[in-house]
């Protein structure tokens, strides 16, 4: 697998009539590709993958999910956002090595952090040597494996939400207002839910939904401990919505998990998007995402790019137009 082949697998969805758009940009200016299936009205959920460089198998998993769900017109009563590759710069480094980068200083910096080796197959970070899934402002720096110096993995950054990819995913989440998020990682065949200081009521809600995901995948459901600063953690802590990390691939498989394991991984996870959307609908009345945005904006915790209702109204208009286009295309 090369980086161009990975991106080509995402772009191939356009040949089937699936609209792709950008959820944001990476440090090096790459597009963070996304799509949406279903209607833009009603309950929305968000599934993201590839936030760790070596875990690009999760990107291919989302491509297969989107292809199957679109071709079979299965998404109803809301919609699903898919963010295919949150860390494109890291994926390029992991797959193609530092020689694929244009800057000599960047190549030297990364190689030094990699112990002088040109083998980047175990690389997790972005081009700034920040582990993106430790950079969110959710008890930032409080994880048991966190490190505080640039590294190929586990470096939390010099301050929370320092990285462009993290900022992009946060902004995209605030714009799209999902009532549930799923982050795909590898490996372990396990589902993590919950976060420290979460209310008992929300933990019970998250466990209920998680049990449905566990039954669908046959992955055990485990409460998160000693891990902070992840996207899942931020969604739970800041937005009070249910959020999950699903680790695919057995622990016995070495990193990076190869494409030969994709069929088995897909078969275990193919129903996750629909089950998650169904459960989000079930709990929708108890999840007030917009209220959290307003509350957190007044507290200075969430930066909304432009003030309140006018900005959100323009977003809603955009989503309604996309929804109408999606419906017309599906009828052809």
Q: What is the pLDDT of residues 70-86, one digit of tens each?
A: 988 899 999 999 999 99
Q: How far is CA 129 from CA 190, 238, 314, in A?
A: 26, 25, 36
Q: How far apart are CA 43 and CA 38, in angstroms?
A: 10
Question: What is the model's pLDDT at position 328?
Answer: 54
Q: Report which secondary-structure segment, H or E, holds 90.
A: helix 88-96
Q: Please choose, from the candidates 156, 180, 169, 305, the residue with its C-alpha nearest in 3D space to the C-alpha of residue 239.
A: 180
Q: How far apart are CA 304 and CA 298, in angstroms?
A: 10
Give residue 261's pLDDT band: very low, low, confident or very high (50, 70, 90). Answer: very high
Q: Please choose, from the candidates 226, 82, 253, the residue with its C-alpha nearest in 3D space to the C-alpha of residue 144.
A: 226
Domain boundaries, the chain: 3-7+16-276+285-331
- Tell me, rounded to whole angstroms, the distance of Cα 241 from its chain centroid: 15
> Tens of pLDDT along 235-249?
999 999 999 999 999
Q: How far apart are CA 152 and CA 65, in angstroms?
A: 29
Exposed/middle/buried for residue 244 (C-beta within 10 Å: 0-12, 13-18, 19+): buried
- Name residues whose C-beta falls within 8 Å of residue 82's C-beta, 6 or more positions apart in sequence: 34, 35, 36, 37, 46, 47, 48, 62, 65, 66
59, 10 contact by CB (below 8 A): yes
**Res 89 pLDDT > 80:** yes
- Name residues whose C-beta falls within 8 Å of residue 47's C-beta, 6 or more positions apart in sequence: 62, 65, 80, 81, 82, 83, 181, 182, 183, 184, 272, 273, 276
The residue among 48 and 296 whose pLDDT is bigger is 48
- Name residues whose C-beta falls within 8 Å of residue 1's C-beta, 6 or more positions apart in sequence: 56, 95, 259
> Tens of pLDDT along 264-302?
999 999 999 999 999 999 999 888 765 555 554 444 444
Tell me the average pLDDT across 293-312. 44
Question: What is the model's pLDDT at position 304?
Answer: 40
Kindly state the tokens that stand for 283.
């709990």
Question: What is the model's pLDDT at position 325?
Answer: 54
- Give φ, ψ of 133 to 5 degrees: -85, 15
Q: How far apart are CA 210 and CA 193, in angstroms?
A: 7
Q: What percent of the chain has pLDDT over 70?
A: 86
The residue among 314 and 307 whose pLDDT is bigger is 314
pTM for this prediction: 0.89
Kindly state the tokens that stand for 68.
């199957």
Q: What angle do CA 326, 283, 217 make, to 5 degrees?
A: 75
Q: What does CATH list as the number for 3-7+16-276+285-331?
A: 3.40.630.10
Task: Please state, rounded to an integer, the average pLDDT across all residues of the chain.
Answer: 90
């Amino acid at each position: 697998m090369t980086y161009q082949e990975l991106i080509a697998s995402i772009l191939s969805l356009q040949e089937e009539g699936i609209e792709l758009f950008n959820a944001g940009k990476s440090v090096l200016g790459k597009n963070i590709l996304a799509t949406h299936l279903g209607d833009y009205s009603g309950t929305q959920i968000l599934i993201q993958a590839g936030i760790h460089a070596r875990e690009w198998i999760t990107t291919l998993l989302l491509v297969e999910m989107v292809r199957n769900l679109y071709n079979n017109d299965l998404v109803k009563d809301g919609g699903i956002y898919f963010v295919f590759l949150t860390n494109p710069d890291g994926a390029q480094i992991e797959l193609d090595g530092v020689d694929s980068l244009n800057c000599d200083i960047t190549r030297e910096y990364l190689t030094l952090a990699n112990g002088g080796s040109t083998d980047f197959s175990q690389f997790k970070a972005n081009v700034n040597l920040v582990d993106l899934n430790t950079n969110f402002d959710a008890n930032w720096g409080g994880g048991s494996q966190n490190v505080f110096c640039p590294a190929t993995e586990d470096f939390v950054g010099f301050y929370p939400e320092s990285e462009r990819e993290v900022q992009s995913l946060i902004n995209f989440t605030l714009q799209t207002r999902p009532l549930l998020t799923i982050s795909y990682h590898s490996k372990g065949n396990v589902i993590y839910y919950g976060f420290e200081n979460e209310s008992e009521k929300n933990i019970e809600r998250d466990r209920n939904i998680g049990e449905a995901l566990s039954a669908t995948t046959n992955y055990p459901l485990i409460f998160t401990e000693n891990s902070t600063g992840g996207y899942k953690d931020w969604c739970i802590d800041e937005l009070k919505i249910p959020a999950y990390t699903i680790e695919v691939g057995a622990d016995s498989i070495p990193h990076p998990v190869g494409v030969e394991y994709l069929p088995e991984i897909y078969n275990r996870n193919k129903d996750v998007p629909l089950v998650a959307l169904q459960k989000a609908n079930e709990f929708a009345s108890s999840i007030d995402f917009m209220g959290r945005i307003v509350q957190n904006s007044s507290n200075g915790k969430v930066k909304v790019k432009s003030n309140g209702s006018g900005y959100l109204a323009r977003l809603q208009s955009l989503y309604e137009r996309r929804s109408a286009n999606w419906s017309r295309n599906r009828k052809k």
